[in-house]
Structure 1
């Protein structure tokens, strides 16, 4: 372990992140909202902290090793989550303690979208913009994480494309080629954000809301500048724009890259994961709409259709925008929608959840085990498309699922020990670990009323979900720290 290398990178990271305070300061100046001070103080505190970390080790120039990479990745999200909480804790308008500020900051950076804030409509524009900006920055970080770091673990998802996808996904090492790949994907991410903002503006949002919501839509975050989320606008056209860009952002960004290079939509139809992704969301939307119509939850078919499609896509992609109080919908719908968030977006997207690729492999593995009962001596391969999956990848996915369930159970029981009921505890862990945001029960609208201990547990759940579990838990094993 090269701690000095890690310290140098951490110092640089903090100094760079301190400049993220500049856009909210500019927004506050433009709108004259008087909430600039927390960001100026935040800039000074974070920059000085980064400088103090960096100066003693500025001349260290050694290559980063695999173990160092894991530490840096975990520190990236943890330290930036804590640093991002500084202006939120300093803002008098929010009246947040440190636990609440960290929860809000991590929720933004991990693109979870769970909030402890009430009265969002009345907040200064600078604070509103900062929350949205956190999600956008987190979304960019997720793309690089998925492309350049997680494949080293063997469970990130991107390595599954090496055998069948031409182009940048052939290699999964931290090489200049991967750097160029990450850069290209960032350009696509930026292009989608600009297109989304323009579409929102054309659909009727004002410029501030259009930019703010494009940040959280493409990042699949779910933060809004209004307490009623997308329901505030009461516009089917705006909701349609959101659905389109949520769907696009939930797809593996490598496919966007290939589609752009080929100038063809073929990569989407040829990819087994994206096909499964669309089928899951289509079936979910159809069941939701039909049940809303049968139970006459809305007055007409049109309302049931657009609310059903929107909630199915928003929750299925783990975005977390809402146009209606889905937690109060009849029958099994709220729980079904929550369970769909466990599948989440595609590998290599900004979506959360376990990822469609893992769901697909778990399903195929289950089918294979049933066949083995009938043909115990048969050699049965698991294929994604026409490509056989290596057994070590299948084993890694099963290991991921087992640790996911165990971690989920421990955190849910901990929340119940703090006094939350079963529905609230289950949905809160699911919503945070899947990076979804809104839950059921007492956390259906916000997380303001839960205890500080519960906030810390759920903050850990957000990190665990966003770092694909193994990246974080590997640091907690004695093996990792042995020489």
Structure 2
């Protein structure tokens, strides 16, 4: 294990991250909210710590192997969660504990959207902007950003990208070089963000809210600058903008690139995962709309439609915006929406969950077993986009699913042992492991009343969800540390 190389990279990345605390200073100055001191303190603290890590080993330059790549990713996201909490801890307006500050920071960076902060409407603009910015940075992965813009790292970058990029197939690249792929992903990401902000502004948001919500929308994060989330604006136009960009951000960014390059939508039509993604959204919306309408939850069909459509898209893509308290919807709907978050977005998107492609492969494998019972001697291939899927990919998907279920049940039982009721424990783990945010029961609105031990466990759950479980588990295995 090349620990000095890991130390050097971690130090450099922390130095880079420290500069993300300066934009809120500018926001505080523009809005004259007199709350810039916490960000200056946080900037200096993280910068100094990063420099202290980097300086003694600054001349150590060697190629990073896959094993070190995994460790750098895990360490960076863990350390980053703590480092990102510094301005929140220093803030006199928030007055929150260390565990709450780390929880909020980890939730933002993993684009989970679970919050312990209430009274958002009264907070300084600098703090509100910082929360949104953290989600935006975490959306596509700060590691990918660093690989794209930091050739000073002196490494190829492929190891970091494989460890961090979401989805079951890690090696498909849009360009021959990994640095080009990372840059390309961020160009698409930035284009979506700017377009989303402009659309929000045209729909009726002010400049601050438009920029802030574009960050969390494209990142599939769900943080808002208002306690009522998107319901604060009471605008169908704003909700439609959010729906469009949540759907786009929940799709595979590779498809966006191909569509842009070819000036054609055929890439979406041909992709099996995207078709299932759209089908699930439509089916969930129809079921939710029908139940809300016939149960007379809302006064009109139109109102039922807008609430059903928005909540389905937001929860199914694991964004976490709300226009109403869906946890109080009647019957099975709240649980149905939480279960939809288990599927989540497409591979290669900013969404959470298990990813649509894994669910599709699990279904295809299950159906193949049914057909084998009917035709025992038949050789039936599993195909995606009319191409056979390698057997090792199927095995990896089943391995991920089994570990996912095991981790979910273990965390839920631990939370119940810590005093949570069944509904709250189930939804809290689902909301954090799927990087969703809002849950049911006591965590439907926020996580303020959750105990400190449970918050630390949920932080681990958010990190595991963001790194798709295996990246973190690999580092915890004894075999990883053997020479």
- TM superposition score normalised by structure 1: 0.95
| SS of corresponding position for 1:134 | helix
Aligned to 2:197: 197
**CA shift for structure 1 position 144:** 3.1
Q: Which residue of 2 aligns with 1:227?
A: 227
Matches of 1:152 and 1:434 in 2, distance apart?
20
8 Å CA contact 2:165–2:348 kept in 1: the answer is no
Map of 1:340 onto structure 2: 340
2:167 maps to 157
Q: How does 1:104-123 map to 2 (within 5 A)?
A: 104-123=104-123
How far off is 1:377 after superposition? 2.8
Aligned to 1:303: 303
Compute the displacement of 1:140 (Å). Answer: 2.8
Deviation, 1:100, is: 0.5
Which residue pairs with 1:165 in the alignment? none
Asked if the contact 1:155/1:393 (under 8 Å) is kept, the reply is no
Q: 1:78 to 1:161 in 2, by over 3 A?
A: closer
Residue range with higher mean Cα deviation, 179-188 or 225-234: 179-188
Matches of 1:440 and 1:397 in 2, distance apart?
28
> 1:220-258 deviations in whole A, cap 9, x for unaligned?
000000000000000000000000000000010011111
Q: Is the 8 A contact 1:150 1:156 kept in 2?
A: no
Quick one: structure 1 residues 338 and 149, their matched pair in 2 at CA, closer, same or farther if it must change by over 3 Å? farther
Partner residue of 2:386? 386
| 2:70–2:163 CA contact under 8 A, matched in 1 | no
Deviations 1:263-283 (A, max 9, x none): 111111111111110000110
Question: What's the Cα RMSD here?
Answer: 1.8
Q: 1:143 to 1:369 in 2, by over 3 A?
A: farther
Alignment of 1:216-365 (within 5 A): 216-365=216-365
- Kindly indicate whether the alpha-carbon contact (under 8 Å) linking 1:154 and 1:396 is maintained by their aligned counterparts in 2: no
The answer for the alignment partner of 1:23 in structure 2 is 23
The corresponding residue for 1:478 is 478
**Is it true that 1:70 corresponds to 2:70 in the alignment?**
yes
Q: CA, structure 1 residues 15+152, in 2 after alignment: closer, same or farther (shift >3 Å)?
A: closer
- Cα separation, 1, equivalents of 2:158 and 2:440: 35
Map of 1:399 onto structure 2: 399
The change in CA–CA distance for 1:155 and 1:381 in structure 2 (over 3 A counts) is farther
Distance in 2 separating the partners of 1:456 and 1:316: 25
What is the TM-score with the length of structure 2 in the denominator? 0.95
Secondary structure at the aligned position of 1:378 is classed as: coil
Structure 1 residue 378: deviation in Å?
A: 2.2
What is residue 188 of structure 2 aligned with on the other side?
A: 188
1:182 deviates by 1.2
Partner of 2:177: 177
Cα-to-partner distance string for 1:353-381 (whole Å, 9 max, x where unaligned) = 00000000011111111122222332221
8 Å contact kept, 1:143–1:185? no
Q: Does 1:410 align with 2:410?
A: yes
Partner residue in 1 for 2:458:
458
Alignment of 1:100 onto 2:100: yes
Contact map agreement 1:99 1:452 (CA 8 A) in 2? yes
Q: CA deviation at 1:90?
A: 1.2
Regions of 4+ moved over 6 Å? none
Q: What CA deviation, in whole Å up to 9, does each residue of 1:28-47 have, x standing for no partner?
A: 11111111111010011000
Per-residue deviation, 1:152:
4.4
Cα 1:302–1:219, aligned 2, differ >3 Å: closer, same or farther? Answer: same
Contact 2:73 2:164 in 1 (8 A): no
* Conservation of the 8 A alpha-carbon contact between 1:143 and 1:350: no
2: CA distance, partners of 1:341 / 1:203: 28
Tell me the distance in 2 between the aligned counterparts of 1:86 and 1:441.
Answer: 30
Cα distance in structure 2, aligned partners of 1:142 and 1:41 = 22
**In structure 2, what is the Cα distance between the partners aligned to 1:153 and 1:125?**
35
The equivalences for 1:51-70 within 5 A come to 51-70=51-70
Contact in 2 for aligned 1:151/1:157 (Cα 8 Å): no
In the alignment, is the contact (CA less than 8 A) between 2:168 and 2:397 conserved in 1? Answer: no
Q: CA deviation at 1:151?
A: 7.6
Size of the aligned set, in residue pairs, is: 473
CA deviation vs aligned residue, 1:444-471 (integer Å, no higher than 9, x gap): 0000001000100100000000101000
- The 1-side partners of 2:162 and 2:198 are apart by 37
Q: CA deviation at 1:155?
A: 9.9
CA distance in 2, matches of 1:428, 1:356: 21
Separation in 1, partners of 2:313, 2:435? 14
SS at match of 2:130: helix
Contact 1:106 1:462 (8 Å CA) reproduced: yes
Whole-angstrom CA distance in 1 between matches of 2:217 and 2:98 = 27
In the TM superposition, what whole-angstrom CA distance separates every residue of 1:22-61 from its partner, at most 9, and x where no partner exists? 1000001111111111101001100000000001000001
Structure 2 alignment gaps of length 5 or more: 148-156
Measured at CA, do residues 152 and 204 of structure 1 come closer, stay the same or move farther in structure 2, by a change above 3 Å? Answer: closer
Partner Cα separation in structure 2 for residue 373 and residue 347 of structure 1: 31
Distance 1:149 1:57, change over 3 A: closer
**3-state SS, counterpart of residue 331 of structure 2:** coil
CA distance in 1 between counterparts of 2:470 and 2:446 reads 28
Question: In 2 relative to 1, CA 111–26 (structure 1 residues): closer, same or farther, beyond 3 Å?
Answer: same
Deviation at 1:149, TM superposition (A): 5.2
